[in-house]
Chains A and B, each alone.
Chain A
């Protein structure tokens, strides 16, 4: 530490500082970042090569080159750190709840078109709320139906954002509602 650096903030900070040691998976992530940077640099070179300063590939090449250099330095620094043995991948990096959530969002995106917005969202919220809160099914169903209804009214009715209707004949319901007035 150089003497010019300010003293570390006091312990009131609610976000824990990153552990001084190397976290599990950090090395793998930094290697992946370096490989991705090099691949993007190669891809940027393919845009227009060293054709001209004004070529469309000039700025992409410069930025991906910076990314690659930074990624090398980051990897070097993380190699110098000692591995933190107190942490594990399963508990501190990818606990089950995180994996399930990522899979659920991907599932939502997959089901959105065929199933439609209303059923997909109700199902998603129902399962997620039940999985995370372990409250009763009735409570979770009430929360999910209520939330989806509010979102649907704001987005579809007020702001005319067309969500995929899927298996629910939404367009007919709306024209029926509007024909009532």
Chain B
């Protein structure tokens, strides 16, 4: 009974309902503009909502969070500039769709599957939070290391034509992620005596450079060809289409929820792993991946929104943040006089159900605001490029500057923009670089933690992997992924398929 009355708090209080709506609406734009991040917006809200009660403050933050994770897909699809790291995978198939005049269709399906993913994440939070948090907190450094290796292996599916170039790009990404002072040993790495490099290269600057700037430079080649006319029918996807992709969405939502619940990994990694999963399980996509496959949109967008509910799981049950945004919300709870920790669920269960209910409402508002106004949005792509490209450039520069109020980040953005431009021209894939940067710290830090824990004894570390069920399953998953991407396996599969096919043809 208490649960229901707590669930009803944000619904019956009109001001809370309104705040969630406003937050979600603002969040979509925060997410869509590169350089404005949900983390930044929620930090600002801490000071802004300082004198408020705790419920309205959280309502606004939750709205921004939900809307922001979804909003990143907008610019990824329309301009090939992911508004947030969790939308990188969305750009891989979303932008090709926009180039084919199907931007409206892409945004429509993304909105609906984001809603489904978000909803499944919330259900997991409401029903399985204690179980999932026990599971997530049990991850040892070696497990995070294996997870990172699994992630790195996605290079194979992001490489396009040339695997060697893909591997090169992935390794470059890991190297970029290592630049700066290593926080574990305070040792400088790739700093070359430049003080500004100590803090590392801003990941968002790399992302805006590689995607946004290199894309605008490449588009200068064809600046006078008229923009693609966008179809504005078919925006709200049919039920048949949604149902077709629902099984995949369920699987990728599970990936999103679990990866979101792990402390230290969030929607960005979840979305990339989901994209890879989609490539593995989709036998015959209507359009190949990377050229506008619907599955390439469904997977990352369900996963990153499911990761929102996932991130709240360790926060609500243990006071441990699942990602950067929930870390700030924990700070906000402290400021409002609460003590987020394992006792919060016991001492103040109303807070838990209030958050579940607010997330659900934010998810519904996301669907409503997401589906309205698409027609207006897709017009952006139809603007003359001679005007649109300079505006994108200024937005990219401002976005890079805003990350740390630093001109250095603008130079990095330009540098990676130029590098990305040449890499594009000479057939290097760019997505593996971003993958490498995202996974660099996860891999490097946890590899070292795992081996330090065993006093630099590699054998003991492997023993640890073989004796823990969780580590062993992750290890076997890595082995399986490697084995199935070897040419021998592919040849064997093809021969088997060939035999089956020829047998089928026999009268």
Contact = CB atoms under 8 A, between A and B. Distances in A.
Interface in B275-302: 288, 291
Contacts of B216: 101
A175 interface: no
B168 A67 contact: yes
Interface stretch (B53-61, B405-413, B463-471): B405-413
Contacts of A47: 187-189
Question: Which of B384, B411, B427 has its CB near the most chain A CB atoms (within 10 A)?
Answer: B427
A114 B220 CA distance: 29
Nearest to A143: B387
A180 interface: no
A63 interface: yes
Interface of B is mostly: helix
Interface string B388-407: 01110111011001100101
Interface in B345-404: 384-387, 389-391, 393-395, 397-398, 401-402
Contacts of A90: none
B217 A53 contact: no
Nearest to B192: A43
Contacts of B443: 59
Contacts of B393: 101, 105, 124, 128
A151 B395 contact: yes
Contact of B390 (A43, A124, A134): A124
B46 interface: no
B390 A53 contact: no
Interface in B418-450: 418, 421-422, 425-427, 436, 440, 443-444, 447-448
A138 interface: no
A160 B398 CA distance: 13
B178 interface: yes
Contact of B168 (A58, A74, A108, A155): A74
A159 B444 CA distance: 34
A74 B165 CA distance: 7
A155 B391 contact: no
A43 B418 CA distance: 23
A18 interface: yes
B490 interface: yes
Given A4-B490, A63-B171, A66-B171, A9 B291 contact: yes
Contacts of B448: 54, 56, 58-59
Given A29-B426, A109-B407, A161-B402, A132 B190 contact: no
B214 to A, nearest CB: 11
The size bracket of the interface on B is 35 or more
Interface string B87-118: 00000000010011000000000000000000
B36 A101 contact: no
Contacts of B328: none
A83 interface: no
B22 interface: no
A119 interface: no
Interface string A129-148: 10011110000000110011
B288 A9 contact: yes
A133 B388 CA distance: 10
Interface of A is mostly: helix
B167 A70 contact: yes
Contacts of A97: 220, 223
A154 B168 contact: no
A125 B394 contact: yes
B272 interface: no
B189 A57 contact: yes
A128 B396 CA distance: 15
A53 B387 contact: no
Contacts of A105: 213, 393, 397, 410, 414, 417
B26 to A, nearest CB: 8
Nearest to B152: A63
B456 A59 contact: no
A117 B386 CA distance: 22
A67 B167 CA distance: 8
Contact of A98 (B100, B217, B390): B217
Contacts of B100: 12, 14
A173 to B, nearest CB: 19
B398 A67 contact: no
A106 interface: yes
Given A44-B190, A74-B165, A125-B391, A56 B185 contact: yes
Interface in A63-105: 63-64, 66-67, 70-71, 73-74, 77, 92-93, 95, 97-98, 101-102, 105
B96 to A, nearest CB: 7
Given A125-B390, A129-B390, A161-B402, A95 B414 contact: no
Interface in A1-53: 3-4, 9, 12-15, 17-18, 23, 25-26, 29-30, 33, 37, 40, 43-44, 47-48, 52-53
B423 to A, nearest CB: 8
B175 interface: yes
Given A14-B96, A105-B213, A106-B411, 11 more contacts: A18-B425, A56-B189, A64-B175, A66-B167, A70-B164, A74-B164, A97-B223, A112-B410, A129-B386, A154-B29, A163-B398
The 10 closest A-B pairs by CB, nearest first: A133-B386, A70-B168, A128-B390, A132-B386, A59-B444, A18-B427, A66-B171, A4-B494, A109-B410, A63-B171
13 contacts: A23-B425, A25-B426, A44-B190, A54-B451, A63-B172, A71-B168, A74-B164, A98-B217, A106-B414, A113-B407, A128-B390, A129-B387, A132-B223
